[in-house]
Amino acid sequence: MSDPENNLTPFLKDYLSSLKVEKNLSDNTINSYRTDLTLCIEFLSDSGIRDLSTVTTADLRAFFKQLSSSGLSATSVARYFSSVKGFFIHLLLQDYIRINPMDKLNPPKLPNRIPVVMTLPEVNAILAIPDTEDTFGLRNRTMLEVFYACGLRISELINIKLSDCFLEDGIIRVLGKGNKERLVPIGSEAIKYIEQYLVKSRPSLEKKGKSLSFLFLSNRGTKLSRMGIWKILRKCVEEAQINKDIHPHTFRHTFATHLIEGGADLRAVQEMLGHADISTTQIYTHIDPEFIKQEHKMYHPRG
- Mean pLDDT over 14-39 rounds to 86
Range among 29-38, 44-53, 147-156, 193-202 with highest mean pLDDT value: 193-202
Q: What is the pLDDT of residue 111?
A: 62
Cα 89 → chain centroid: 19
| DSSP calls for 27-63 | HHHHHHHHHHHHHHHHHHHHTT---GGG--HHHHHHH
Query: Contact at 8 Å (CB) between 205 and 135?
Result: yes
Q: What is the pLDDT of residue 54?
A: 92
- If 0-12 CB within 10 Å is exposed, 13-18 middle and 19+ buried, where does residue 133 land? exposed
Give the rounded percent of residues in the chain with a pLDDT score beyond 90: 55
* Whether residue 267 has pLDDT greater than 70: yes
Quick: pLDDT tens for 139-150.
999 999 999 999
Q: Residues 6 or more apart from 202 whose CB is under 8 A from it?
A: 139, 215, 217
- Cα Rg of the chain, angstroms: 22
Long-range contacts of 289-298 (CB under 8 A, 24+ apart): 291/261
Range among 15-24, 62-71, 78-87, 129-138 with highest mean pLDDT value: 129-138
Question: Out of 24-28, 103-107, 298-302, which region has the weakest mean confidence (pLDDT)?
Answer: 298-302
Q: What is the pLDDT of residue 100?
A: 94
* Whether residue 35 has pLDDT greater than 70: yes
Give the rounded percent of residues in the chain with a pLDDT score beyond 70: 87
Residue 290: pLDDT band (50, 70, 90) is low
Q: What is the pLDDT of residue 242?
A: 94
- Mean pLDDT over 226-246 rounds to 93
Q: Residues 6 or more apart from 178 whose CB is under 8 A from it?
A: none
* Whether residue 94 has pLDDT greater than 70: yes
Catalytic residues: 153, 177, 249, 252, 275, 284
**Could you give all domains of the chain from N- to C-terminal order, each with its CATH number?**
9-93 (1.10.150), 120-289 (1.10.443.10)
Query: Contact at 8 Å (CB) between 90 and 43?
Result: no
Q: What is the pLDDT of residue 15?
A: 92
